[in-house]
Amino acid sequence: MKIPPALPENPKTNIMCKISSSLKSQARPFLRPEVAAWAATSGAAIAAALATAFLLSGCAAGIVPVSKLVAPETLAASQSLGAVPSNAAWPADQWWLRYHDPELDTLMNQALAGSPTLALAEARLARANAVAGYARAQAAPGFSAAASSERGKFTENYIYPPPLGGSTFTTDTALINFNWDLDFWGKNRAAIAQARSQAHASEADLAAARLALTTSVARAWFQMQRLALLEDVTQASIQQREEILTLTRQRVAAGLDTRVELRQAESELPQARVDLAQLEESMNLARHQIAALLGAGPDAALNLPRPRAQASQTIALPASIPANLLGRRPDLVAARWRVEAADHQILRAKAEYYPDINLVASVGLISLGNSSLLHKGSENTAFGPALTLPLFSSSLDANLRIADADYDAAVEQYNAVLIDSLRDVADQIASQQALETQAQQQQQAVTTIEDAYSLALQRYKAGLGNYLTVLTAETAVLQQRRISAQLSARALDLDVELVRALGGGYDSGAPAIAQR
């Protein structure tokens, strides 16, 4: 995807452009073959008109955008991204299939079919394509038909001789008109290219909306899975604390414990029930979020089954992240297309400084009195060029400055998205590496605390310990299981986030933009 070269700069003085013998050599590259042939046979009158047009037309002020595209290879990221396996691949288009959860697959299909957000992006793409079609239509030759019948008095003090002057007649016309903008300087071609680039940007925006939708559905689904695991642990904790409270009451009655231990045991049970109520609230909110992502009402997700997703393998980090990310992240691709659209806007603004030359023609019938319209001699034909000369360039200068500013803004937006994209990938890698260390340490903690619980249970069965010690050890086990559930859910969430950071299987297949 290469930005077209800019039009040759037109030198400018304080009064007018310097017109010299180089004018002919500057104009020739922009002439289409059929236009060149027509110009060669049009005679001295048209040549004189063109020369006058150049003398009177405005000239580009020679403004040059200041922003430059950041080259991905200049952004140091090798250490943050770490070593990359040679066989690592980018995420697949339907990346969620790797979780082997049929219910998640169903939710994805429903979301892609019914999401208003996705429908909005599709509508914007349709509009961008329509704008591109309109730009193409504006550059094509146009035909129109017109017919009229007017009755009026001809003035005596004009070109109409008696008996026309001072008399009232009916004037009938029936004409077919032709208009073709010859587009000597590429204004229409730049407009078409700009609209086409904007359409490509909208297409990438649609892919970005699809990626945001699918990753949001997956994260909400995995949030439900995390909450379900925590509910299991909390239910077990409530049951365990009820047993501790019963045992403590027995020990107080036997004089083995005081009311201090009893009050402590009584306070822990309500807290566990509060935790369960909070989890149920979060679960309902997650269901409502999924229903909204599906484009449905909140009741649509009330009866969803328990999530049981499990990744078959962790997403590996592909090679050449900085360079290949340019075509893999839809938001980055959209920003890149908008840079190209802004460049075409500059070309279009520069072409406005040159005279607009249209080829116009009409053929039809004109007569005084409707009775003679179809008679011989009513034929009327006209053919010739029409020139529009931009005599004063203040508004054109302002328009060019706007185009230059838009280009700078598009470039800086692209640069910001590129830098943030690399930061996003590096963040996910750093979080996954940290989570891997946490998971290893957590596994050791779970093993240790379960061994302690097993020993306490064996001592109780052998009559060497009391049941309160067993329940206390079990409390520690439940706490560690809660942490393990959080880490397990965090692993799935980070997996989805890495998929999103890598573009979710999107591949534009477009080369990078050339530096302006």
Size of the chain, expressed as the number of residues it contains: 516
Per-residue three-class SS string for 263-294: HHHHHHHHHHHHHHHHHHHHHHHHHHHHHHHC
For 21-62, the pLDDT digits (tens) are 333 333 344 344 444 444 444 445 455 555 555 554 445 555
Inform me whether the pLDDT recorded for 215 exceeds 80.
yes
In the chain, what percentage of residues exceed pLDDT 90? Answer: 26
* Cα 509 to Cα 363: distance, rounded to the nearest angstrom: 49
Inform me whether the pLDDT recorded for 205 exceeds 90.
yes
Query: Given 3-state DSSP classes, what are the helix, strand and coil percentages for the chain, each rounded to the nearest 5?
Result: 60, 10, 30
Inform me whether the pLDDT recorded for 110 exceeds 70.
yes
For residue 59, the model assigns a pLDDT of: 54
What distance separates the 2 farthest-apart alpha carbons in the chain? Answer: 136
Inform me whether the pLDDT recorded for 441 exceeds 70.
yes
For residue 513, the model assigns a pLDDT of: 52
Best mean pLDDT range from 75-84, 109-118, 367-376, 388-397: 109-118
* Cα 311 to Cα 96: distance, rounded to the nearest angstrom: 9
Inform me whether the pLDDT recorded for 383 exceeds 70.
yes
For residue 373, the model assigns a pLDDT of: 77
> What mean pLDDT is reported for the chain?
80
For residue 1, the model assigns a pLDDT of: 41
* Cα 339 to Cα 516: distance, rounded to the nearest angstrom: 10
For residue 319, the model assigns a pLDDT of: 63
Query: Mean per-residue pLDDT for 4-23?
Result: 35
Q: List beta partners, residue 149.
A: 172
For 306-315, the pLDDT digits (tens) are 887 666 555 5
Hey, CA dihedral for 81, 84, 90, 95, is it positive or negative? negative
* Cα 228 to Cα 276: distance, rounded to the nearest angstrom: 11
The more confident residue out of 470 and 499 is 499
Per-residue three-class SS string for 26-52: HHHHHCCHHHHHHHHCCCHHHHHHHHH
For 452-488, the pLDDT digits (tens) are 888 887 886 676 777 778 778 888 888 888 898 888 8
In the chain, what percentage of residues exceed pLDDT 70? Answer: 80
Q: In what order do the strands lie in the sheet with 379-388?
A: 142-153, 168-181, 356-368, 379-388
